[in-house]
Amino acid sequence: MAVLHKPAGILVSGNSFKTVANALPENIKYSNLADATTPQPVHRLDYATTGILLVGKTSSSIRALNRMFEDKKVEKTYYAVTIGEMNSDGKITTTIDGKISQSNYKMLYSVPSERFKKLNLVQLEPKTGRRHQLRKHLASIDNPILGDATYGIENLILTGKGMYLHAYSLRFTHPFTNKQVYFKDEFPERFQKIFSSKISEIVVGNNSN
């Protein structure tokens, strides 16, 4: 397997030519195992989301990792910057497309903002994997993600800076070695500009776990 950083503004896969999946064959080392195959992502991130992306490089690993995501055996942690007054923590269970959905959140820090009143650094743990789940869930409690042009509040949409949603880490039991593995992708610079000292505290805390 391989772990990649996905930048904003690129699809993981799909009909478009410019996708992570299409770029992998020319940019990643193939496995030397007997069932090596074209590397491919085993989960998805939104077009505007940055962060960690897991790739399978053998037929057996792709099958195993896909199954682990489907069975919710991969612990995913995201961070977002949200707008407005917010509870310190909570569980959002609003259905999405008629399906049961759950996102747990913890509001870590807030800073005042002249335009947005308050910006919050929020840790997110999706327990289901619906399309646009975190974006829809945060919008449903009136705390949309900064820069979200689809689900944001019309007069409070930040343009030109991207969406402030970052897939930070993955934790799971390796399907072949049975060892616990943990991968992370550090915060984008735009997060650090808003919460500079606090971001450092989170990084130090995560490194000590």
CA–CA separation, 82 and 113 (whole Å): 12
Q: Is the pLDDT of residue 43 over 90?
A: yes
* pLDDT of 208 above 90: no
Output the pLDDT for position 202: 75
Q: Which residue has the higher pLDDT, 46 or 202?
A: 46
> Which one from 35, 46, 89, 97 is the annotated catalytic residue?
46
Cα 36 vs. chain centroid, distance in angstroms?
Answer: 27
Query: Ramachandran region of residue 132, left (φ > 0), alpha (ψ -120 to 50) or beta?
Result: left
Q: What is the pTM of this model?
A: 0.92
Averaged confidence pLDDT in the chain = 92
What the chain holds in terms of domains, given with CATH numbers, is 2-74+169-187 (3.30.2350.10)
Is 71 a residue of the active site? no
Mean pLDDT along residues 53-68: 97
Cα–Cα distance measured from residue 89 to residue 124, given in angstroms and rounded to the nearest whole number: 10
Tokens of 160: 């030109």
Q: What is the pLDDT of residues 135-185, one digit of tens each?
A: 999 999 999 999 998 998 777 777 667 899 999 999 999 999 999 999 999
Residues in a beta bridge with 111: 119
- Asked if 121 contacts 61 with a C-beta cutoff of 8 angstroms, the reply is no
Closest CA to 123 of 113, 138, 136: 138
- Residue 14 has a pLDDT of 86
Give the mean model confidence (pLDDT) for residues 55-83.
96
pLDDT exceeds 70 at position 21: yes
